[in-house]
Structure 1
């Protein structure tokens, strides 16, 4: 038998050891130099995210109007619905449906506190949120967040192998959820049937079935084939350089219009039925690594074999 004090001590020690396991003790910078000091590790992560988010981009290309007009667009009714004024009723409704188990933001106040103190703080919180919808300006303090770094792999070596999870404060969470609720009424009318993102009830399995069907004849030697597995877009094409060039041009236009770019670490090019010279030319032109089957798509194994 152990005394109560011993149990408390063991519990404290267990929590301390668990916290130590979560500490990042070393990291590699962009030049593969290992950093061990706390300040150096911090600088590596700060610089990594500054390169991604912390500087202005060049001029953004406009979307091609003729292409947009042939797709799903907002009707006048949709536009009027989106432009309707936000109300205090929406603010309270959203605030009270946010789960109390959600992580609090930098101020340490979570959903449970806001619900318990709503009669006292409701007027200030509601006014702050509605003011944002009125003038489009957000206080820097409201926009502040804490970022938790979750390892993507068992032994992460560099900053890109950590997944950032933001812990926003409640005012920010409530504001974004109000916007999402408004958009949910419109999105089903403009998202294509073959898209699964943003649509409740649609599953990724539909995409997997389509991809397996595409790969059914992929490895035939008499049929030159090329497939590009890109983090933003998947493309299947005949194995010609001109076809690959058109895909890359489309990706570049998409990138210049949205600010999103293909992640080379997660992108591959798969070729079949072509000679070695063509294979190397495609690889050199795209800068993607050569992929091999079986691979993983949407987290599931993918192969041209049954």
Structure 2
């Protein structure tokens, strides 16, 4: 535990150092190094960012609102229902602990510990706030902390603002978000996969990849334009958002509940360890709020609906209908067929930006052309350039093989580096599983170049665990897949093949002999392949209980029960299977529990080296140079 805390504290220290801003560029591009001026520059930037640019006179044409789907009456009745303690309790149970609290300092653990005392009063506060239209001051105030992004960190735009909200605010927003999640699917089309239950960004990646492959193989002229929206979540105008929800048919009562969360809100910038003066927030959805994702998706849907209805898009052989776009939040890819589609797209974006204050940055947007385009490529807005090889979408490089290979640049080194930091952990999957789970990869078309072998050396899964799962024959790929959580039998078979290549023939023979119960030491051989040596550290018995208690930890071993009668200690012995090899000496150990006067009983599957017939069980094997295998998902 002390080591884990040390690692966590070290990480926090390093992250804290990265978040310190020593200099910024002013609006004119001059470098600022004075701490007070840096603070003023940051506060000025974000106060301006959250200042509304919405003009009531600017309205979208009726064409944007025509054809929008409507929320059902049943869904509206559920959305308008009174708030209950059960909803708040469910929201609290779904919150993760060990998170930074809001400005009041009350954490999730505090509310969970005193929920029985606070629940009724908290419900009364929420009901009063919803009735009056305003939340308490602490709920309305968020602390903005800055996280570094890629690029020049002297540019304040390359810092991502994250709002730290009070837990009571997040409880109310999470309860309302649970209600909204059941209704949002009715109004958000299938090509938008963000924050809609049952949809995934994997669908977007697979769609783009398939479109590129089909267009290339069938020589279909296809254009893809990836729109870059500047500060997408921070530029959502509240008045425009309420208008959109009204056009989707949400009831006035539910919209009023959402308005309460955004009425007279303000933020305090946490800068270099200190808090700045608060400023009003008149636009944007808070990224720490459970409602933010769905509210942003709703605000963008009129634009996507207009694009679907006006562009021709892509027609593929054997596919019913046309493909017009693929969206995951603000990452929108539009399929264009010709110059007309591009001109219409530019007009739609211009009109939507004028009415909603959203902004598309054409200079950072990307365009990819597939096919011959014998008549010439269409003209793109603002001097954009067509690419022919590929582009990056949702963190994945798509396109030609030379671009796809970029997905594996430095992957092996990064994962090896992460795993090497955790080598001090015991070789148990329960310790390493969270780390391995985060390192999962999805490889759909080919194996990861050099990754599997490298991860084998990271000692994630020892040979003893491998044999315990698949048997000494190393042949049960399904059992290995179950142990590692793999969905691909092919990958499990590949792992077993690698292990078969690692073990020498003599080691394989000894493993098979052990599995049949035939492995035993030869007392007449002065240099035996198998020899018996007691593991004194594993002696157990009543007389040894006090010393063992001092060395055992509650996390690893259960407490040893006291006994009133003396019993002989059980001796756990290590069977060392030594293989004589001049090229690569190796060592395997078999653990068994010997009992006097018992014989060796062979078993076709597993057997103890010593023991009664009803005590047969396979013992774990440990390879001196055990090469572990990762929990990696390859499909």
Q: How many residues matched?
A: 290
Distance 1:196 1:178, change over 3 A: same
2-structure distance, mates of 1:98, 1:213: 37
Matched-pair contact (CA < 8 Å) for 2:54–2:356: no
2-structure distance, mates of 1:136, 1:125: 16
Q: Mapping of 1:56-205 within 5 angstroms? A: 56-59=53-56, 68=65, 70-153=67-150, 156-205=153-202
SS of equivalent residue, structure 1 residue 30: coil
2:227 to 230, 234, 257: 230
Give 1:296 deviation, angstroms: 0.5
Q: Which residue of 2 aligns with 1:26?
A: 23
Greater share of helix residues, 1 or 2? 1
SS of equivalent residue, structure 1 residue 185: helix
Specify every segment of 5 or more residues in structure 2 that has no aligned partner in the other structure, as ranges. Answer: 1-7, 229-329, 405-635
1-structure distance, mates of 2:366, 2:11: 43
Q: Which has the larger radius of gyration?
A: 2
Give 1:191 deviation, angstroms: 2.7
Q: Which residue of 2 aligns with 1:287?
A: 382
Matched-pair contact (CA < 8 Å) for 2:19–2:146: no
Q: How well do the aligned residues superpose, as a CA RMSD in angstroms? A: 3.5
Q: Which residue of 1 aligns with 2:342?
A: 244
2-structure distance, mates of 1:131, 1:104: 23
1-structure distance, mates of 2:77, 2:123: 23
Distance 1:28 1:197, change over 3 A: same
Matched-pair contact (CA < 8 Å) for 2:19–2:148: no
2-structure distance, mates of 1:164, 1:265: 23
Distance 1:223 1:44, change over 3 A: farther
1-structure distance, mates of 2:79, 2:167: 23
SS of equivalent residue, structure 1 residue 98: coil
Q: Which residue of 1 aligns with 2:392?
A: 296
Distance 1:109 1:265, change over 3 A: farther
Q: Name the TM-score, length of structure 2 as normaliser.
A: 0.41
Distance 1:58 1:183, change over 3 A: same
Q: Which has the higher contact order (CA 8 A, sep 6+)?
A: 1
1-structure distance, mates of 2:12, 2:173: 34
Map Cα deviations across residues 240-298 of structure 1 (whole Å, 9 max, x no partner): 2x4322102222333345443224464223457679x977xx34xx2364353332001
Distance 1:18 1:186, change over 3 A: closer
